[in-house]
Amino acid sequence: MTDEKLHHILHCFRFQKPEITFLRHNENRTYKVSDADGSTYVLRVHQPFKESMTGLQHTYEGLLGELLMLESLAKESSLLVQSPLRNQDGELITVIEHEGQRLNCSVLTWLVGRDLQKEDVQKPELVKLLGSQVAKLHEFYRQYPQVHVKNRPEQGIAYNVGLISTIHKGLELGLFVPSDVAIIEKCIHLINDKLEQFGTEDRWGLIHGDLGFGNMIISPEGQLSFIDFGFFGPGYDWTDIAMGAMMAPAAHRDIFLEGYYGTANIAVDELVLIEGMMLISIIGYYAFQMGNESVHNWMREKMPTLCADHCLPFLAGKRIFYQV
């Protein structure tokens, strides 16, 4: 994308002489924008690197739901998050024409800090903070009007069933062997059965949906921030809890639970569902990357280990919370 086009987008947000630095092109094209007054922002052009990455979150209505939520989250919670800017027309989204396509563009404030690293979560106090921050995010989501959340990715039972079809495509591509695909399918059906048996109405709501080291920022003062809400939408609390717990080393996972729940002594049935969502998040990553040939060899190598070390024990009723 040319500098002229980028400056055109930023002019709509009242930037005068911005310096633009390309960051990456993954789910979106992202750029760091330094304004003349010293302020820093992130420009996102919502065009995925791979067509297979395109989802509801890239539609105008879906993106608007994310930005309205972020605007409220920044104003109404104690969490430090990126806040969206409105353009000269008061809109959160600026639409441009590029190579025959209509692309949605948004601008967010910049967070000072760096990506969270595995070394950081060796500290028990930071793991407990992570758990409490996830709890605060869910607390905000429980009171957020869902009428504003339209056309967003949903991670529920139907999503889990869809993963089975996508993993079968991996079989057709020669990435997986039939026995491993059968194990994955049994696992997903068992997880869905447990979700239906548990009675999950009070655990279904809004979630971040993609927690991981690359989507967490730690400030120089040690404050944690969630970023990249591309998969924000309806789902089970356990999805975020599972993803958060997987960031912590096994020895600190009880500390994460204490940060989230206030205690590490949770019911076994609930722990099993967290374990199930750990497996779903891993399988979901495989499914999302199915069209990305650069990780195909990694998938071939890792799938047998996932099935043998984690899925089979889970199917046998063994606890895997401290092993995944």
CB of 66 closer than 8 Å to CB of 41: no
Q: What dotted CATH number matches 3-110?
A: 3.30.200.20
Global confidence as pTM = 0.94
Rounded Cα distance, 280 and 265, in Å: 23
Question: What pLDDT score was predicted for residue 1?
Answer: 78
**Predicted pLDDT at 184:** 98
Same fold yes or no, 3-110 and 120-315: no
Q: Contact at 8 Å (CB) between 234 and 155?
A: yes
pLDDT of residue 125: 98
pLDDT confidence of residue 233: 96
User: What is the pLDDT at residue 53?
Assistant: 75
Give the span between the Cα atoms of 213 and 193, in whole angstroms: 30
One CATH from 3.90.1200.10, 3.30.870.10, 1.10.340.30, 3.30.70.20 for 120-315:
3.90.1200.10
The DSSP call for residue 56 is: G
Where do the domains of the chain lie?
3-110, 120-315
For the chain (length 324 residues), average pLDDT per consecutive 10? 89 91 91 93 91 85 96 96 97 91 95 96 98 98 88 95 96 96 98 89 92 96 96 96 98 98 94 97 94 92 97 97 94
